[in-house]
Chains A and B, each alone.
Chain A
Amino acid sequence: MNEESKTLNKYICFNLGVEKYAIPLLTVKEVIRVPEITAVPQTAPYFLGIMNLRGQVISIMDLRKKLNLKESNSVETTVMILNFGKNQLGVMVDCVNYVVSLSDNDISEKPVVSSAHNTDYISGVYRKDNELILILDIVKALSVEELQQLGMAA
Chain B
Amino acid sequence: MDDFEIELKIGFLEEAEQAITEVESCFLILESDSMNIENINKIFRLAHNLKGSSKAVGFDEFGAFTHEFETFILKIKNGALSCTPAVVNILLQANDHIQLMINGLKSNLAATFDSANLLNQMKNYSEMPAVKNIDKLNPVTEIVSDVSTERYEPTIEELLAMAEAQEALAANQSKMILKPVIELVKTASPTVANAKQPQTVDESIRVALSKVEALLNSVGEMVILQSVLKEQVLGHENEALKKTVIQLSKISKEIQDSSMSLRMTAVKPTFQKMQRIVRDTAQALNKEINFVLKGEDTELDKTVLEKINDPLVHLIRNSVDHGIENSMIRTANNKSEKGTVILSAYHQSGKLVIEVSDDGGGLNPEKLRTKAIEKNIISENQKLTDDECRNLIFAAGFSTKEAVTDVSGRGVGMDVVKTNITELNGEIKITSVLGQGTTFKIILPLTLAIIDSLIVSSCDHKFAVPLTHVHETLRPTFQQIQKNQNIGETLLLRGENLPMYRVGDFFGLRSHLETTDLIALVVRSGEKPFCLMVDDILVQNEIVTKPLGLELQNLKGISGSTILADGKPALILEPQDLILRKKTEFRTNHKVIEKNERSNDRLRVA
Contact = CB atoms under 8 A, between A and B. Distances in A.
A26 to B, nearest CB: 20
B461 A150 contact: no
Nearest to B225: A54
Contacts of B569: 38, 50-52, 57
Interface in A91-150: 147-150
B552 A41 contact: no
Contact of B461 (A41, A56, A58, A152): A41
B552 A151 contact: yes
Contacts of A51: 569
A37 to B, nearest CB: 8
A59 B554 CA distance: 14
A71 interface: no
Interface stretch (B14-22, B89-97, B188-196, B541-549): B541-549
B567 interface: yes
Contacts of A47: 551
Given A51-B569, A57-B561, A148 B551 contact: yes
B217 A55 contact: yes
A150 B552 contact: yes
B563 A40 contact: no
Given A41-B509, A55-B220, A87 B549 contact: yes
B586 interface: no
Nearest to B220: A55
B568 A59 contact: no
Contacts of A88: 549
A8 interface: no
B554 A148 contact: yes
B217 A50 contact: no
B81 to A, nearest CB: 42
A87 B548 contact: no
Interface residues of A, number: 27
A50 B561 CA distance: 9
Contacts of B507: 41-42
A59 B220 contact: no
Contacts of B593: none
Contacts of B548: 50, 57, 59
A89 interface: yes
B551 A59 contact: yes
Contacts of B547: 57
Interface in B521-549: 546-549
Interface string A39-75: 1111100010011101111110000000000000000
B597 interface: no
A4 interface: no
B221 interface: yes
B329 interface: no
Given A38-B462, A38-B570, A59 B552 contact: yes
B550 interface: yes
Nearest to A153: B554
A52 B552 CA distance: 15
> Considering residues A39, A50, A148, A150, which has the most beta carbons from chain B within 10 angstroms of its beta carbon?
A50
B550 A57 contact: no
B567 A52 contact: yes
A58 B549 contact: yes
A5 B555 CA distance: 48
Given A52-B568, A55-B220, A57-B563, A87 B550 contact: yes
Interface in B545-598: 546-556, 561-563, 567-571
A153 to B, nearest CB: 9
Contacts of A1: none
B221 A151 contact: no
Given A55-B221, A57-B561, A151 B567 contact: no
A149 B554 contact: yes
Given A54-B217, A150-B551, 17 more contacts: A36-B567, A36-B568, A38-B461, A41-B461, A41-B507, A52-B563, A52-B567, A55-B218, A57-B561, A57-B562, A87-B549, A89-B551, A148-B550, A148-B553, A148-B554, A150-B554, A151-B553
Interface of B: 216-218, 220-221, 461-462, 507-509, 546-556, 561-563, 567-571
Query: Which 3 residue pairs are nearest across A and B when measured between Cβ atoms?
Result: A151-B554, A41-B507, A55-B217
Interface of A: 36, 38-43, 47, 50-52, 54-59, 87-89, 147-152, 154
26 contacts: A38-B570, A40-B552, A41-B461, A41-B507, A42-B507, A42-B508, A50-B552, A50-B569, A51-B569, A52-B567, A54-B221, A57-B546, A57-B549, A58-B549, A59-B549, A59-B552, A87-B549, A87-B550, A88-B549, A89-B549, A89-B551, A148-B551, A149-B554, A151-B553, A151-B556, A154-B556
